[in-house]
Amino acid sequence: MAKNNNEALKQPIWVNNPVVVQILGICSALAVTAQLKPAIVMGLSVTVIVAMSNVIISLLRNTIPNRIRIIVQLVVVAALVTIVSEILKAFAYDVSVQLSVYIGLIITNCILMGRLEAYAMQNGPWDSFLDGIGNGLGYAAILVVVAFVRELFGSGKLLGFQIIPQWCYDHGYMNNGLMIMPPMALILVGCIIWIHRSKNKDLQEK
Amino acid sequence: MATKKFKCKVCGYVHEGNEAPEKCPMCSAPKSEFEEITEADAAPKKKGIDTSSNVYTIIYAAVMVILVAFLLVFVSSTLKERQTANVINDTKAQILSALNIKDQADVAAAYASTIKADMLMQADGSLVPYDGEFCTGYSAEYDANRLHVFEAEVNGQTKYVIPMNGLGLWGVIWGYIALDEDRTTVDGVYFSHASETPGLGGEIAAPLFQSRFPGKIVTDNGKVALQVVKFGKADKNSPFQVDGVTGATITSTGVNNMINKVLTSYLPFLNAK
């Protein structure tokens, strides 16, 4: 289990990406990627929460009774998310309004439970922290790529700024409405998985 | 005869038999990756407390729940005051936003200088001052038949702001509509939502949609006439019709229903000139 520290951080970003390889967190990847801004915010929030809950579970890992470990993990995540949400409401109200439903969505994000169960239960706090950061960033990276494509072609904007110039519309260009719909996110994630597999031959199923 | 146990070092698969398998059935690792587990290894290392006993599990769960509950109560009660202040500030900012006063550094001061009175509408359409605490949830106020009207003064002109509540596609939507002194011309609107789809229904909170309202007429012949219609269907010359958000027909209809429902309740005030 003595994995190199660097590996714990770097692996999940591309080679062992939580979304395209572990297939975790697909549901929220569909929900928040219609625009770039919520995607970035969600990616960063998940990174922070995964890292923090990984550390807590990793510290507790030797005391947690095996039969109720999932519940313990869930309680830690839920408590953490609630506290972060309360603190945001008190000290950064604007951010909390923007996050609105997403902060609650973090609790149900499978990446959290997946990493807690698969990594933090077996590894030390520092490794778990890096693993959390790595997985969070890997998740954020996919979200940003998908949201970039969806917002650019779905609304002609990036981060709310008009990118596709008006003369394109004058010449008959139209925004692709399908891009904003959740199914398109699934198709895009599929395309990313396709590219990813073609670059990483050892992941291809025979 | 006691069978031996072999554990795959790669995936942890445990094989029982006289010797290790040629290939791990779980991860296809070769035989060399297997190591024999002797009984001494297999037995759990009893160090201190047995973490799988029932008593330990129940005590662990109970302690955890109590600790987390206290933690949450502590966090919630210490931050309550700040949060309430933030919500009040945000509500005031929303009301000001309907009057096209946006991005104020000091919302409370701007509110105090702009909003002259928080009034309640009576059945005959007259206004009496509201003397309770500043409200942040106007849905409950509407249901309790306390119909608030904010009297504002912007650049020497009197304006009225009416809070609205309704349902969008996924959850509640709300907003404020500011009317000129004639009580029929829209000065500005503000909409927000709890959980509409970003990029679609969520666009009701964007300036583009809200900029279609100013100058429109609210009532015609004593009835609510302001309508939000499907995108592209609004008659350009009509003073009553507003284009909805493209691709968000249900949320746009929700906005339409909200405006219609709330303003109908306010008709006595709107028609009293």
SS3 B98: helix
What is the secondary structure of A3-17 as a DSSP string? --HHHHHHGGGTTT-
Residues of B in contact with A87 (CB under 8 A): 75, 79
Residues of B in contact with A101 (CB under 8 A): 194-195
* pTM score of the predicted model: 0.68
User: Which of A75, A76, A149, A153 would best serve as a mutation to test chain B binding (most B beta carbons within 10 A)?
Assistant: A75
Residues of B in contact with A32 (CB under 8 A): 198
Residue A117's identity, in one-letter code, is E
Please enumerate in sequence order all residues whose Cβ is within 8 A of that of A55, keeping only pairs 6 or more positions apart, or say none.
A120, A125, A128, A129, A132
CA-CA-CA-CA dihedral for A168, A171, A173, A174, to nearest 10:
110
From A130, A48, A34, A154, select the one nearest A95 (Cα to Cα): A48
Q: What is the mean pLDDT of residues A98-117?
A: 79
**Are residues A65 and B79, on separate chains, in Cβ contact within 8 Å?**
no
Please enumerate in sequence order all residues whose Cβ is within 8 A of that of B200, keeping only pairs 6 or more positions apart, or say none.
A34, A180, B245, B247, B248, B251
**Are residues B52 and A67, on separate chains, in Cβ contact within 8 Å?**
yes
Q: Please tell me the distance from the alpha carbon of residue B263 to that of residue B251, in angstroms, as a whole number.
A: 18
B4 to chain A nearest CA, in Å?
A: 25
Residues of A in contact with B89 (CB under 8 A): 93
User: Which of A79, A100, A150 lies closest to B71 in CB terms?
Assistant: A79
Residues of CATH 2.20.28.10 domain(s) within chain B? 4-42
pLDDT tier at A3 (50, 70, 90 boundaries)? low
User: Which of A68, A91, A97 lies closest to B61 in CB terms?
Assistant: A68
CATH topology assigned to domain B4-42: Rubrerythrin, domain 2 (2.20.28)
**Are residues A75 and B64, on separate chains, in Cβ contact within 8 Å?**
yes
Q: Average pLDDT, whole number, for chain A?
A: 83
- Tens-digit pLDDT profile for chain B (273 aa)? 456 777 777 777 777 777 777 777 777 777 777 777 765 544 444 456 677 788 888 999 999 999 999 999 999 999 998 888 888 888 898 899 888 888 777 888 888 888 888 888 888 888 888 887 888 888 888 888 888 999 988 888 889 999 999 998 888 999 999 999 888 899 999 999 887 877 788 889 888 899 989 988 888 888 888 889 888 888 888 888 999 888 888 999 999 999 999 999 998 888 876
pLDDT digits (tens, 9 = 90+) for B42-83: 444 445 667 778 888 899 999 999 999 999 999 999 999 888
User: Which of A35, A87, A177 lies closest to B247 in CB terms?
Assistant: A177
A129 to chain B nearest CA, in Å?
A: 22
Q: What is the reported pLDDT for B43?
A: 47
